[in-house]
Structure 1
Amino acid sequence: MDQPTIGILHPGSMGAAVAACAATNAADVLWCETGRSTTSAERADQFALTPVATLAELLDRSDIVISLCPPAVAEDLACVVAGQRFAGVYVEANAISPERATRIAALLGPDATVVDGCVVGSPPVGGKTPTLYLSGPPDATERVEALFAGTAVLTEVLGREVGKASALKLAYASFQKTSRVLVALAVGMAREYGVDQELIEVASRRTDSYLSEPQYVAKTAARAWRWGPELEEAADTLVAAGLPPEMLHAAATTLARWNDVKDDSELTLTDALNRLAQS
Protein backbone atom coordinates (compact mmCIF):
# COMPACT_ATOMS: atom_id res chain seq x y z
CA MET A 1 0.00 0.00 0.00
CA ASP A 2 1.28 3.47 -0.86
CA GLN A 3 2.31 5.66 2.04
CA PRO A 4 -0.44 8.15 2.95
CA THR A 5 -0.14 11.91 3.20
CA ILE A 6 -1.05 13.19 6.66
CA GLY A 7 -2.53 16.50 7.77
CA ILE A 8 -2.18 17.68 11.38
CA LEU A 9 -4.68 20.09 13.00
CA HIS A 10 -2.86 21.84 14.77
CA PRO A 11 0.82 21.40 15.64
CA GLY A 12 0.80 22.05 19.39
CA SER A 13 3.34 20.36 21.64
CA MET A 14 1.49 17.04 21.45
CA GLY A 15 0.24 17.36 17.88
CA ALA A 16 3.61 18.24 16.37
CA ALA A 17 5.41 15.41 18.15
CA VAL A 18 2.73 12.87 17.20
CA ALA A 19 2.81 14.11 13.60
CA ALA A 20 6.59 13.72 13.52
CA CYS A 21 6.18 10.06 14.52
CA ALA A 22 3.58 9.59 11.79
CA ALA A 23 6.14 10.87 9.28
CA THR A 24 8.00 7.57 9.67
CA ASN A 25 5.32 5.76 7.67
CA ALA A 26 3.87 8.68 5.67
CA ALA A 27 4.70 10.22 2.32
CA ASP A 28 4.41 13.69 3.86
CA VAL A 29 2.99 15.43 6.93
CA LEU A 30 1.25 18.76 6.28
CA TRP A 31 0.17 21.62 8.50
CA CYS A 32 -1.66 24.85 7.64
CA GLU A 33 0.38 27.93 8.55
CA THR A 34 -2.39 30.49 7.99
CA GLY A 35 -3.50 32.07 11.26
CA ARG A 36 -1.03 30.15 13.39
CA SER A 37 1.43 31.71 15.81
CA THR A 38 5.17 32.11 15.42
CA THR A 39 5.58 29.49 18.14
CA SER A 40 3.51 27.01 16.12
CA ALA A 41 5.59 27.72 13.03
CA GLU A 42 8.83 27.19 14.94
CA ARG A 43 7.51 23.96 16.42
CA ALA A 44 6.38 22.66 13.03
CA ASP A 45 9.77 23.52 11.57
CA GLN A 46 11.51 21.75 14.45
CA PHE A 47 9.61 18.55 13.65
CA ALA A 48 10.10 18.94 9.87
CA LEU A 49 6.40 19.27 9.04
CA THR A 50 5.49 20.61 5.60
CA PRO A 51 3.64 23.95 5.58
CA VAL A 52 0.71 24.64 3.24
CA ALA A 53 -1.01 27.97 2.74
CA THR A 54 -4.65 26.99 3.28
CA LEU A 55 -6.75 24.42 5.09
CA ALA A 56 -8.40 23.57 1.78
CA GLU A 57 -5.02 22.57 0.34
CA LEU A 58 -4.18 20.49 3.40
CA LEU A 59 -7.49 18.62 3.20
CA ASP A 60 -7.25 18.14 -0.56
CA ARG A 61 -3.79 16.57 -0.29
CA SER A 62 -4.27 14.53 2.89
CA ASP A 63 -5.42 10.91 3.11
CA ILE A 64 -5.53 11.00 6.92
CA VAL A 65 -6.13 14.08 9.05
CA ILE A 66 -5.34 14.09 12.78
CA SER A 67 -7.12 16.65 14.94
CA LEU A 68 -5.19 17.49 18.13
CA CYS A 69 -6.29 20.86 19.47
CA PRO A 70 -7.80 22.39 22.64
CA PRO A 71 -11.06 20.50 23.34
CA ALA A 72 -13.15 23.66 23.38
CA VAL A 73 -12.57 24.23 19.64
CA ALA A 74 -12.60 20.61 18.44
CA GLU A 75 -16.20 20.63 17.18
CA ASP A 76 -15.89 24.03 15.50
CA LEU A 77 -12.78 22.82 13.71
CA ALA A 78 -14.60 19.69 12.58
CA CYS A 79 -17.40 21.91 11.21
CA VAL A 80 -14.89 23.78 9.10
CA VAL A 81 -13.41 20.52 7.81
CA ALA A 82 -16.89 19.19 7.04
CA GLY A 83 -17.58 22.32 5.02
CA GLN A 84 -14.61 21.43 2.81
CA ARG A 85 -16.10 17.94 2.14
CA PHE A 86 -12.99 16.11 3.32
CA ALA A 87 -13.27 12.48 2.21
CA GLY A 88 -10.38 10.71 3.96
CA VAL A 89 -9.86 9.35 7.48
CA TYR A 90 -10.38 11.94 10.22
CA VAL A 91 -8.78 11.03 13.55
CA GLU A 92 -10.63 12.96 16.25
CA ALA A 93 -7.93 12.68 18.93
CA ASN A 94 -9.02 15.47 21.29
CA ALA A 95 -10.07 15.21 24.93
CA ILE A 96 -13.80 15.53 24.28
CA SER A 97 -16.92 13.77 25.49
CA PRO A 98 -18.15 10.63 23.69
CA GLU A 99 -21.30 12.56 22.80
CA ARG A 100 -19.27 15.28 21.11
CA ALA A 101 -17.17 12.65 19.29
CA THR A 102 -20.37 11.06 18.00
CA ARG A 103 -21.66 14.44 16.80
CA ILE A 104 -18.40 15.07 14.98
CA ALA A 105 -18.60 11.65 13.31
CA ALA A 106 -22.13 12.46 12.11
CA LEU A 107 -21.03 15.91 10.99
CA LEU A 108 -18.19 14.62 8.82
CA GLY A 109 -20.06 11.64 7.39
CA PRO A 110 -20.71 10.27 4.92
CA ASP A 111 -17.76 11.91 3.12
CA ALA A 112 -15.10 11.18 5.77
CA THR A 113 -14.49 8.13 7.95
CA VAL A 114 -14.09 9.21 11.57
CA VAL A 115 -11.84 7.40 14.02
CA ASP A 116 -12.27 8.32 17.68
CA GLY A 117 -8.90 8.61 19.36
CA CYS A 118 -7.18 9.71 22.55
CA VAL A 119 -3.56 10.11 23.55
CA VAL A 120 -2.64 9.00 27.06
CA GLY A 121 0.83 10.03 28.17
CA SER A 122 3.36 12.75 27.45
CA PRO A 123 4.38 13.91 23.94
CA PRO A 124 6.60 11.31 22.22
CA VAL A 125 9.94 13.06 22.70
CA GLY A 126 12.94 12.27 24.89
CA GLY A 127 12.10 8.59 25.17
CA LYS A 128 8.42 9.10 26.11
CA THR A 129 6.02 6.56 24.57
CA PRO A 130 2.36 7.66 24.81
CA THR A 131 -0.46 5.39 23.69
CA LEU A 132 -2.96 6.42 21.04
CA TYR A 133 -6.20 4.59 21.78
CA LEU A 134 -8.57 4.18 18.83
CA SER A 135 -12.16 3.20 18.23
CA GLY A 136 -14.10 3.18 14.99
CA PRO A 137 -14.43 1.29 11.68
CA PRO A 138 -11.79 -1.50 11.52
CA ASP A 139 -10.42 -0.55 8.10
CA ALA A 140 -9.76 2.99 9.29
CA THR A 141 -8.28 2.04 12.68
CA GLU A 142 -5.96 -0.41 10.91
CA ARG A 143 -4.67 2.40 8.70
CA VAL A 144 -3.96 4.56 11.74
CA GLU A 145 -2.23 1.67 13.50
CA ALA A 146 -0.02 1.15 10.44
CA LEU A 147 0.81 4.85 10.43
CA PHE A 148 2.45 4.59 13.87
CA ALA A 149 3.98 1.11 13.55
CA GLY A 150 7.53 1.08 14.84
CA THR A 151 7.32 4.60 16.32
CA ALA A 152 7.28 6.05 19.84
CA VAL A 153 3.48 6.31 19.63
CA LEU A 154 1.94 3.01 20.70
CA THR A 155 -1.57 2.18 19.48
CA GLU A 156 -4.41 0.12 20.88
CA VAL A 157 -7.84 -0.42 19.32
CA LEU A 158 -10.75 -0.43 21.78
CA GLY A 159 -13.49 -1.47 19.37
CA ARG A 160 -15.71 -0.27 16.54
CA GLU A 161 -17.83 2.24 18.44
CA VAL A 162 -16.97 5.92 18.14
CA GLY A 163 -16.89 7.32 21.68
CA LYS A 164 -14.98 4.54 23.42
CA ALA A 165 -11.59 6.22 23.08
CA SER A 166 -13.01 9.56 24.22
CA ALA A 167 -14.63 7.90 27.23
CA LEU A 168 -11.32 6.29 28.23
CA LYS A 169 -9.49 9.61 27.99
CA LEU A 170 -12.01 11.50 30.10
CA ALA A 171 -12.34 8.72 32.66
CA TYR A 172 -8.56 8.84 33.12
CA ALA A 173 -8.42 12.63 33.03
CA SER A 174 -11.24 12.93 35.56
CA PHE A 175 -9.07 11.34 38.22
CA GLN A 176 -5.60 12.36 37.14
CA LYS A 177 -6.24 16.04 36.53
CA THR A 178 -8.75 16.58 39.30
CA SER A 179 -6.24 14.98 41.68
CA ARG A 180 -3.67 17.60 40.67
CA VAL A 181 -6.18 20.32 41.51
CA LEU A 182 -6.83 18.73 44.91
CA VAL A 183 -3.09 18.80 45.60
CA ALA A 184 -3.07 22.56 45.04
CA LEU A 185 -6.02 23.04 47.40
CA ALA A 186 -4.56 20.76 50.08
CA VAL A 187 -1.11 22.35 50.02
CA GLY A 188 -2.64 25.84 49.90
CA MET A 189 -4.80 25.09 52.96
CA ALA A 190 -1.85 23.63 54.88
CA ARG A 191 0.34 26.60 53.98
CA GLU A 192 -2.25 28.97 55.43
CA TYR A 193 -1.78 27.28 58.81
CA GLY A 194 1.98 26.79 58.48
CA VAL A 195 1.89 23.01 58.16
CA ASP A 196 2.57 22.57 54.43
CA GLN A 197 5.96 20.91 54.95
CA GLU A 198 4.43 18.52 57.47
CA LEU A 199 1.70 17.68 54.97
CA ILE A 200 4.29 16.88 52.31
CA GLU A 201 6.21 14.73 54.81
CA VAL A 202 3.08 12.77 55.64
CA ALA A 203 2.24 12.34 51.97
CA SER A 204 5.78 11.25 51.08
CA ARG A 205 5.25 8.11 53.11
CA ARG A 206 2.80 7.10 50.39
CA THR A 207 4.83 7.09 47.20
CA ASP A 208 1.73 6.82 45.04
CA SER A 209 0.28 10.11 46.35
CA TYR A 210 0.23 13.27 44.23
CA LEU A 211 0.57 15.13 47.51
CA SER A 212 4.23 14.10 47.56
CA GLU A 213 4.73 16.08 44.31
CA PRO A 214 3.66 19.64 45.17
CA GLN A 215 6.12 21.02 42.61
CA TYR A 216 3.66 19.80 39.96
CA VAL A 217 1.16 22.46 41.03
CA ALA A 218 3.02 25.08 38.97
CA LYS A 219 2.81 22.84 35.89
CA THR A 220 -0.88 22.34 36.58
CA ALA A 221 -1.36 26.12 36.66
CA ALA A 222 0.45 26.58 33.33
CA ARG A 223 -1.79 23.94 31.73
CA ALA A 224 -5.04 25.13 33.32
CA TRP A 225 -6.25 26.81 30.11
CA ARG A 226 -6.39 23.35 28.49
CA TRP A 227 -7.34 21.20 31.47
CA GLY A 228 -10.39 23.27 32.47
CA PRO A 229 -12.32 22.71 29.23
CA GLU A 230 -11.30 19.04 29.31
CA LEU A 231 -12.83 18.60 32.75
CA GLU A 232 -16.01 20.35 31.58
CA GLU A 233 -16.21 17.73 28.83
CA ALA A 234 -15.76 15.02 31.43
CA ALA A 235 -18.53 16.60 33.54
CA ASP A 236 -20.89 16.39 30.56
CA THR A 237 -20.01 12.71 30.30
CA LEU A 238 -20.87 12.15 33.97
CA VAL A 239 -24.27 13.78 33.43
CA ALA A 240 -24.92 11.48 30.49
CA ALA A 241 -24.08 8.52 32.75
CA GLY A 242 -26.42 9.72 35.52
CA LEU A 243 -23.52 10.66 37.81
CA PRO A 244 -22.97 13.97 39.63
CA PRO A 245 -20.71 16.42 37.75
CA GLU A 246 -20.21 18.99 40.51
CA MET A 247 -16.69 17.86 41.43
CA LEU A 248 -15.42 18.33 37.90
CA HIS A 249 -17.24 21.63 37.40
CA ALA A 250 -15.67 22.83 40.62
CA ALA A 251 -12.21 21.69 39.51
CA ALA A 252 -12.64 23.50 36.18
CA THR A 253 -13.67 26.66 38.05
CA THR A 254 -10.54 26.36 40.18
CA LEU A 255 -8.36 25.91 37.11
CA ALA A 256 -9.84 29.05 35.55
CA ARG A 257 -8.05 31.11 38.20
CA TRP A 258 -4.82 30.21 36.41
CA ASN A 259 -5.93 31.04 32.86
CA ASP A 260 -3.68 34.11 32.73
CA VAL A 261 -0.49 32.06 33.21
CA LYS A 262 -0.92 29.97 30.05
CA ASP A 263 2.17 27.82 29.37
CA ASP A 264 4.31 29.85 31.82
CA SER A 265 7.32 27.55 32.34
CA GLU A 266 8.86 29.97 34.88
CA LEU A 267 5.93 29.81 37.31
CA THR A 268 6.84 28.68 40.83
CA LEU A 269 4.80 26.79 43.39
CA THR A 270 4.50 29.93 45.51
CA ASP A 271 3.30 31.98 42.54
CA ALA A 272 0.73 29.36 41.58
CA LEU A 273 -0.64 29.08 45.13
CA ASN A 274 -0.78 32.86 45.51
CA ARG A 275 -2.80 33.15 42.29
CA LEU A 276 -5.11 30.39 43.44
CA ALA A 277 -5.80 32.26 46.67
CA GLN A 278 -6.90 35.43 44.84
CA SER A 279 -10.63 35.93 44.44
Structure 2
Amino acid sequence: MTTLGILHPGSMGAAVAAQAKAAGAEVLWCPEGRSDATKDRAVRSGLAAVGNIAEMVHNSDVILSLCPPANAVDVASSVAGHSFSGIFVDGNAISPASMKTISTIMSSAGAQLVDGSVIGSPPSTTKTPRLYLSGPEAPVEAVARLFEGTAVNAIALPGGIGKASALKLSYSTFQKISRVLAAVSYTLAHDYGVERELLDVAKQRTTSYLTETEYISKTASRAWRWGPEMREAVQALMESSLPAGLAEAASLVLERWGDARNFPLGLPEAMDRLHHTTEG
Protein backbone atom coordinates (compact mmCIF):
# COMPACT_ATOMS: atom_id res chain seq x y z
CA MET A 1 0.00 0.00 0.00
CA THR A 2 1.30 3.43 -0.96
CA THR A 3 0.99 6.17 1.64
CA LEU A 4 0.10 9.61 0.33
CA GLY A 5 0.44 12.80 2.35
CA ILE A 6 -1.77 15.71 1.31
CA LEU A 7 -0.87 19.35 1.94
CA HIS A 8 -3.51 20.68 2.38
CA PRO A 9 -7.04 19.29 2.03
CA GLY A 10 -8.92 22.28 0.68
CA SER A 11 -11.91 21.66 -1.58
CA MET A 12 -9.68 20.36 -4.40
CA GLY A 13 -7.07 18.68 -2.20
CA ALA A 14 -9.58 16.77 -0.10
CA ALA A 15 -11.48 15.55 -3.16
CA VAL A 16 -8.30 14.44 -4.95
CA ALA A 17 -7.00 12.73 -1.80
CA ALA A 18 -10.33 10.91 -1.38
CA GLN A 19 -9.93 9.47 -4.88
CA ALA A 20 -6.47 8.12 -4.03
CA LYS A 21 -7.87 6.60 -0.83
CA ALA A 22 -10.71 4.98 -2.78
CA ALA A 23 -8.10 3.42 -5.07
CA GLY A 24 -6.35 1.82 -2.12
CA ALA A 25 -3.79 4.32 -0.84
CA GLU A 26 -3.48 5.35 2.78
CA VAL A 27 -3.84 9.13 2.90
CA LEU A 28 -2.38 11.29 5.67
CA TRP A 29 -2.97 14.92 6.49
CA CYS A 30 -1.74 17.35 9.15
CA PRO A 31 -4.39 19.25 11.20
CA GLU A 32 -1.78 21.56 12.73
CA GLY A 33 -2.75 25.17 11.99
CA ARG A 34 -5.67 24.18 9.77
CA SER A 35 -9.20 25.64 9.95
CA ASP A 36 -12.31 23.84 11.16
CA ALA A 37 -13.57 23.73 7.56
CA THR A 38 -10.39 21.94 6.49
CA LYS A 39 -10.72 19.49 9.36
CA ASP A 40 -14.33 18.76 8.40
CA ARG A 41 -13.32 18.06 4.79
CA ALA A 42 -10.53 15.72 5.92
CA VAL A 43 -12.86 13.78 8.19
CA ARG A 44 -15.53 13.44 5.50
CA SER A 45 -12.88 12.18 3.08
CA GLY A 46 -11.64 9.60 5.58
CA LEU A 47 -8.09 10.97 5.78
CA ALA A 48 -5.83 9.90 8.64
CA ALA A 49 -4.47 12.70 10.83
CA VAL A 50 -0.81 12.99 11.85
CA GLY A 51 0.65 15.12 14.61
CA ASN A 52 2.93 17.31 12.50
CA ILE A 53 4.73 17.67 9.18
CA ALA A 54 7.69 15.65 10.44
CA GLU A 55 5.43 12.67 11.09
CA MET A 56 3.90 13.00 7.61
CA VAL A 57 7.34 13.16 5.99
CA HIS A 58 8.47 10.09 7.93
CA ASN A 59 5.43 8.00 6.97
CA SER A 60 4.64 9.10 3.40
CA ASP A 61 5.89 7.60 0.15
CA VAL A 62 4.36 10.45 -1.85
CA ILE A 63 3.46 13.96 -0.72
CA LEU A 64 1.06 16.04 -2.79
CA SER A 65 1.06 19.82 -2.36
CA LEU A 66 -2.20 21.54 -3.31
CA CYS A 67 -2.15 24.96 -1.70
CA PRO A 68 -2.46 28.65 -2.65
CA PRO A 69 0.29 29.43 -5.22
CA ALA A 70 1.84 32.08 -2.96
CA ASN A 71 2.57 29.37 -0.38
CA ALA A 72 3.94 26.70 -2.72
CA VAL A 73 7.66 27.36 -2.15
CA ASP A 74 7.24 27.60 1.63
CA VAL A 75 5.30 24.34 1.73
CA ALA A 76 7.99 22.61 -0.32
CA SER A 77 10.70 24.04 1.96
CA SER A 78 8.92 22.78 5.07
CA VAL A 79 8.78 19.26 3.62
CA ALA A 80 12.39 19.34 2.44
CA GLY A 81 13.44 20.66 5.85
CA HIS A 82 12.50 17.28 7.32
CA SER A 83 14.71 15.43 4.81
CA PHE A 84 11.90 13.95 2.76
CA SER A 85 13.32 11.42 0.30
CA GLY A 86 10.14 10.19 -1.39
CA ILE A 87 8.16 11.66 -4.29
CA PHE A 88 7.00 15.26 -3.89
CA VAL A 89 4.23 16.35 -6.26
CA ASP A 90 3.74 20.08 -6.56
CA GLY A 91 0.26 20.42 -8.05
CA ASN A 92 -0.04 24.17 -7.64
CA ALA A 93 -0.67 26.88 -10.24
CA ILE A 94 2.87 28.22 -10.28
CA SER A 95 5.24 29.27 -13.05
CA PRO A 96 7.90 26.97 -14.52
CA ALA A 97 10.48 29.27 -12.90
CA SER A 98 8.92 28.72 -9.47
CA MET A 99 8.86 25.00 -10.19
CA LYS A 100 12.59 25.12 -10.87
CA THR A 101 13.07 26.73 -7.46
CA ILE A 102 11.11 23.90 -5.87
CA SER A 103 13.15 21.38 -7.89
CA THR A 104 16.34 22.77 -6.35
CA ILE A 105 14.80 22.60 -2.88
CA MET A 106 13.71 18.99 -3.32
CA SER A 107 16.99 17.90 -4.88
CA SER A 108 18.87 19.20 -1.86
CA ALA A 109 16.70 17.00 0.37
CA GLY A 110 17.09 13.93 -1.81
CA ALA A 111 13.45 13.86 -2.90
CA GLN A 112 12.10 13.18 -6.38
CA LEU A 113 9.98 16.01 -7.78
CA VAL A 114 6.95 15.61 -10.02
CA ASP A 115 5.52 18.75 -11.62
CA GLY A 116 1.74 18.53 -11.48
CA SER A 117 -1.27 20.61 -12.47
CA VAL A 118 -4.96 20.00 -11.89
CA ILE A 119 -7.30 21.33 -14.56
CA GLY A 120 -11.03 21.06 -13.91
CA SER A 121 -13.40 20.94 -10.95
CA PRO A 122 -12.84 18.80 -7.83
CA PRO A 123 -13.46 15.13 -8.69
CA SER A 124 -16.88 13.69 -7.93
CA THR A 125 -19.43 11.31 -9.40
CA THR A 126 -20.00 13.83 -12.19
CA LYS A 127 -16.64 15.65 -12.46
CA THR A 128 -13.40 14.20 -13.83
CA PRO A 129 -10.53 16.68 -13.64
CA ARG A 130 -7.22 16.05 -15.35
CA LEU A 131 -4.04 15.75 -13.32
CA TYR A 132 -1.15 16.48 -15.66
CA LEU A 133 2.23 15.16 -14.53
CA SER A 134 5.72 15.84 -15.83
CA GLY A 135 9.19 14.95 -14.63
CA PRO A 136 11.27 11.77 -14.35
CA GLU A 137 9.41 8.79 -15.78
CA ALA A 138 9.44 6.45 -12.78
CA PRO A 139 7.98 8.86 -10.18
CA VAL A 140 5.46 10.19 -12.72
CA GLU A 141 4.22 6.64 -13.32
CA ALA A 142 4.08 5.97 -9.59
CA VAL A 143 1.89 9.01 -9.01
CA ALA A 144 -0.36 8.18 -11.96
CA ARG A 145 -0.94 4.69 -10.53
CA LEU A 146 -2.38 6.23 -7.36
CA PHE A 147 -5.37 7.42 -9.39
CA GLU A 148 -5.98 4.46 -11.69
CA GLY A 149 -9.69 3.76 -12.00
CA THR A 150 -10.69 6.97 -10.19
CA ALA A 151 -12.38 10.24 -11.15
CA VAL A 152 -8.94 11.84 -11.44
CA ASN A 153 -7.59 11.41 -14.97
CA ALA A 154 -3.81 11.33 -14.53
CA ILE A 155 -1.95 12.22 -17.74
CA ALA A 156 1.84 12.05 -18.17
CA LEU A 157 3.47 14.82 -20.21
CA PRO A 158 6.83 14.32 -21.92
CA GLY A 159 9.60 16.85 -21.51
CA GLY A 160 10.43 17.04 -17.82
CA ILE A 161 9.87 19.50 -15.00
CA GLY A 162 8.05 22.67 -16.01
CA LYS A 163 5.73 21.20 -18.64
CA ALA A 164 2.71 20.60 -16.38
CA SER A 165 3.00 23.99 -14.69
CA ALA A 166 3.36 25.73 -18.06
CA LEU A 167 0.20 24.01 -19.31
CA LYS A 168 -1.74 25.08 -16.22
CA LEU A 169 -0.75 28.73 -16.50
CA SER A 170 -1.28 28.78 -20.27
CA TYR A 171 -4.84 27.64 -19.71
CA SER A 172 -5.60 29.63 -16.58
CA THR A 173 -4.24 32.86 -18.09
CA PHE A 174 -6.99 32.74 -20.69
CA GLN A 175 -9.66 31.24 -18.45
CA LYS A 176 -9.22 33.58 -15.49
CA ILE A 177 -8.59 36.79 -17.43
CA SER A 178 -11.54 36.11 -19.73
CA ARG A 179 -13.79 35.67 -16.67
CA VAL A 180 -12.54 38.94 -15.19
CA LEU A 181 -12.94 40.70 -18.53
CA ALA A 182 -16.48 39.35 -18.84
CA ALA A 183 -17.35 40.90 -15.47
CA VAL A 184 -15.93 44.28 -16.53
CA SER A 185 -17.66 44.16 -19.94
CA TYR A 186 -21.02 43.22 -18.46
CA THR A 187 -20.79 45.97 -15.85
CA LEU A 188 -20.01 48.56 -18.54
CA ALA A 189 -23.03 47.40 -20.54
CA HIS A 190 -25.17 47.52 -17.40
CA ASP A 191 -24.08 51.09 -16.71
CA TYR A 192 -25.56 52.08 -20.08
CA GLY A 193 -28.62 49.82 -19.85
CA VAL A 194 -27.64 47.49 -22.69
CA GLU A 195 -26.74 44.33 -20.75
CA ARG A 196 -29.58 42.30 -22.29
CA GLU A 197 -28.45 43.21 -25.78
CA LEU A 198 -24.85 42.31 -24.87
CA LEU A 199 -25.95 38.86 -23.75
CA ASP A 200 -28.01 38.40 -26.91
CA VAL A 201 -24.96 39.16 -29.05
CA ALA A 202 -22.71 36.90 -26.97
CA LYS A 203 -25.11 33.95 -27.21
CA GLN A 204 -24.51 33.81 -30.96
CA ARG A 205 -21.16 32.16 -30.20
CA THR A 206 -20.91 28.54 -29.11
CA THR A 207 -17.14 27.96 -29.07
CA SER A 208 -14.15 29.31 -27.17
CA TYR A 209 -11.76 31.79 -28.76
CA LEU A 210 -8.97 29.71 -27.27
CA THR A 211 -9.67 26.88 -29.74
CA GLU A 212 -9.56 29.19 -32.77
CA THR A 213 -5.79 29.46 -33.21
CA GLU A 214 -6.19 30.31 -36.90
CA TYR A 215 -7.77 33.57 -35.78
CA ILE A 216 -4.54 34.74 -34.15
CA SER A 217 -3.17 35.78 -37.55
CA LYS A 218 -6.42 37.57 -38.36
CA THR A 219 -6.22 39.39 -35.05
CA ALA A 220 -2.67 40.48 -35.85
CA SER A 221 -3.74 41.81 -39.25
CA ARG A 222 -6.47 43.87 -37.56
CA ALA A 223 -4.28 45.23 -34.78
CA TRP A 224 -3.99 48.63 -36.51
CA ARG A 225 -7.75 49.06 -36.04
CA TRP A 226 -8.37 47.07 -32.87
CA GLY A 227 -5.63 48.88 -30.94
CA PRO A 228 -7.32 52.29 -31.17
CA GLU A 229 -10.65 50.60 -30.39
CA MET A 230 -9.18 49.26 -27.17
CA ARG A 231 -7.91 52.71 -26.28
CA GLU A 232 -11.45 53.99 -26.72
CA ALA A 233 -12.61 51.16 -24.46
CA VAL A 234 -10.10 52.31 -21.86
CA GLN A 235 -11.65 55.77 -21.97
CA ALA A 236 -15.20 54.40 -21.64
CA LEU A 237 -14.24 52.21 -18.69
CA MET A 238 -12.53 55.08 -16.92
CA GLU A 239 -15.58 57.28 -17.43
CA SER A 240 -17.65 54.61 -15.66
CA SER A 241 -15.03 54.29 -12.88
CA LEU A 242 -14.37 50.69 -13.89
CA PRO A 243 -10.96 48.98 -13.99
CA ALA A 244 -9.37 49.78 -17.35
CA GLY A 245 -6.15 47.81 -16.96
CA LEU A 246 -7.28 44.78 -18.96
CA ALA A 247 -8.31 46.86 -21.98
CA GLU A 248 -5.12 48.89 -21.70
CA ALA A 249 -3.07 45.70 -21.62
CA ALA A 250 -4.92 44.45 -24.71
CA SER A 251 -4.04 47.64 -26.56
CA LEU A 252 -0.37 47.16 -25.66
CA VAL A 253 -0.47 43.59 -26.98
CA LEU A 254 -2.04 44.79 -30.24
CA GLU A 255 0.70 47.40 -30.60
CA ARG A 256 3.28 44.61 -30.75
CA TRP A 257 1.78 43.46 -34.04
CA GLY A 258 2.06 46.90 -35.57
CA ASP A 259 0.37 47.56 -38.92
CA ALA A 260 0.11 44.23 -40.76
CA ARG A 261 -2.67 45.19 -43.17
CA ASN A 262 -0.55 44.98 -46.29
CA PHE A 263 1.78 42.24 -45.06
CA PRO A 264 -0.40 39.62 -43.35
CA LEU A 265 1.40 37.65 -40.67
CA GLY A 266 1.35 33.87 -40.55
CA LEU A 267 0.75 32.20 -37.19
CA PRO A 268 4.45 31.61 -36.39
CA GLU A 269 5.38 35.23 -37.14
CA ALA A 270 2.35 36.57 -35.28
CA MET A 271 3.36 34.61 -32.20
CA ASP A 272 7.00 35.64 -32.56
CA ARG A 273 6.07 39.33 -32.62
CA LEU A 274 4.34 38.95 -29.27
CA HIS A 275 7.77 38.34 -27.75
CA HIS A 276 9.17 41.63 -29.06
CA THR A 277 8.02 45.23 -29.12
CA THR A 278 7.61 46.58 -32.63
CA GLU A 279 7.17 50.02 -34.08
CA GLY A 280 4.80 51.21 -36.75
TM-score range, shorter chain: 0.7 to 0.9
Counterpart-to-counterpart distance in 1, 2:177 and 2:66:
21
For 1:123-202, what aligned pairs fall within 5 Å after superposition? 123-202=122-201
For 1:101-112, what aligned pairs fall within 5 Å after superposition? 101-110=99-108, 111-112=110-111
Counterpart-to-counterpart distance in 1, 2:137 and 2:151:
22
Higher Cα Rg: structure 1 or 2?
A: 2
Counterpart-to-counterpart distance in 2, 1:29 and 1:76:
22
Counterpart-to-counterpart distance in 1, 2:131 and 2:73:
20
Identity of aligned residues (%): 52
One of 96, 99, 109 as aligned partner of 2:97: 99
Letter in 2 for 1:86: F
8 Å Cα contact 2:93/2:165 also seen in 1: yes
Question: Counterpart in 2 of 1:89?
Answer: 87
Counterpart-to-counterpart distance in 2, 1:118 and 1:248:
29
Q: 1:193 to 1:27 in 2, by over 3 A?
A: closer
Q: Which runs of 4+ in 1 moved over 4 A?
A: 246-251
Q: 1:6 to 1:26 in 2, by over 3 A?
A: farther
For 1:11-22, what aligned pairs fall within 5 Å after superposition? 11-22=9-20
Report the alpha carbon displacement of residue 24 of structure 1 after superposing the two structures with TM.
2.8
8 Å Cα contact 1:18/1:124 also seen in 2: yes
Structure with the bigger RCO (C-alpha within 8 Å, sep 6+) is 1
Report the alpha carbon displacement of residue 107 of structure 1 after superposing the two structures with TM.
0.5
Aligned residues: 214
Does 2:54 match 1:56? yes
Q: 1:126 to 1:114 in 2, by over 3 A?
A: same
Counterpart-to-counterpart distance in 1, 2:196 and 2:49:
50
Q: Secondary structure at the match of 2:170?
A: helix
8 Å Cα contact 1:5/1:29 also seen in 2: yes
Q: Secondary structure at the match of 2:67?
A: coil
8 Å Cα contact 2:125/2:151 also seen in 1: no
Question: Counterpart in 2 of 1:6?
Answer: 4
Report the alpha carbon displacement of residue 174 of structure 1 after superposing the two structures with TM.
0.6
Question: Counterpart in 2 of 1:40?
Answer: 38
8 Å Cα contact 1:92/1:114 also seen in 2: yes
